[in-house]
Amino acid sequence: MAIKNLNPITGIMDFKSFAKNPIVATLFLVLVAISYLYIDVKSTFKEQIVSQSAKVEKLEVRVEVMQNTLRKTDSSLAAATSKLSTLEQLGKIQNIK
């Protein structure tokens, strides 16, 4: 099924060719629509990647701050525990259970 009225420069068919071959015309329109949707989705994904990368960087900074705070808190807890243990062993305070 060759399409005779196809303009080789512009690639556009006239209405007579569409009327003679409705299946080919429909497939052509479907191909154009799928191509458009593919390009649209691809550009949307690129935008999402950029925005998500910015969010990930912000969250990594927050996680680092929280890890540092956790380390400081853990050190303070260890120091307080050792002080309490020492005071209990010296008999200055009662054993807390």
Q: What is the pLDDT of residues 4-19, one digit of tens each?
A: 555 554 556 677 777 7
pLDDT at 20 over 70: yes
Rg of the chain taking only CA atoms, in angstroms = 36
Query: What is the phi/psi pair of residue 93, to 5°?
Result: -130, 165
Q: How confident is the model at residue 1 (pLDDT cuts 50, 70, 90)?
A: very low
In this prediction, residue 5 carries a pLDDT of 54
pLDDT at 3 over 50: yes
Task: For residue 20, tell me if it sits in a domain.
Answer: yes
In this prediction, residue 34 carries a pLDDT of 95
Is the separation of the CB atoms in 82 and 88 below 8 Å?
A: no
Task: For residue 93, tell me if it sits in a domain.
Answer: no
Task: For residue 25, tell me if it sits in a domain.
Answer: yes
DSSP string spanning 16-68?
A: HHHHH-HHHHHHHHHHHHHHHHHHHHHHHHHHHHHHHHHHHHHHHHHHHHHHH
Tell me how many domains the chain contains.
Answer: 1
Predicted TM-score (pTM) of the model is: 0.50
Give pLDDT tens digits for 31-70.
999 999 999 988 888 888 999 999 999 999 999 999 999 9
Task: For residue 19, tell me if it sits in a domain.
Answer: yes
Query: What is the phi/psi pair of residue 74, to 5°?
Result: -65, -40
Task: For residue 97, tell me if it sits in a domain.
Answer: no
**Calpha distance 51→73 (Å, rounded):** 33
Task: For residue 59, tell me if it sits in a domain.
Answer: yes
